[in-house]
Copies of this chain bind each other. A is one copy, B any other.
């Protein structure tokens, strides 16, 4: 069972971020702001429902969006099952344009990642740098 002080502290955290701490939002925060997982929206919904069965999916999705806008969460595009295909099969890095979502290749030699071999407890199969930002000097009209 969860302590009242936890909920109190969560409510304070939400208020500090400029978010009104409704019961639903506190329940969602209780899971998603402290987990070491990287859950999808539906996983958050499933989890929150176990001790708050009446919460709706729309509320969970809206709340995650709200938390993200207020800097309490970030969204990572890393969910398995949503893939794109790349005919360049040799190692390379990727740039994702914030404006368009377009994915561009960055040659392997253009960046260098140090200390990958020092990672403890993992057998590395591959790695890449994902850079996000904007193209400068958009094609002038």
Which residues from chain A sit less than 8 Å from chain B, CB to CB?
Answer: 32-41, 44, 64, 67-68, 71-89, 94-96, 98, 101-106, 110-116, 118-119, 121-137
Contacts and interface: CB of A to CB of B under 8 A. Distances in A.
A131 B119 CA distance: 10
Contact of A128 (B72, B88, B130, B136): B130
A41 B89 CA distance: 17
B86 A76 contact: yes
Nearest to A122: B133
A44 B87 CA distance: 12
Main secondary structure of the interface of A (DSSP, over half): mixed
A73 B101 contact: no
Contacts of A75: 83-86
A86 B38 contact: yes
Contact of A81 (B82, B123, B125): B82
Nearest to A103: B38
A8 B41 CA distance: 46
B115 A126 contact: no
Contacts of A105: 36
A130 B127 contact: yes
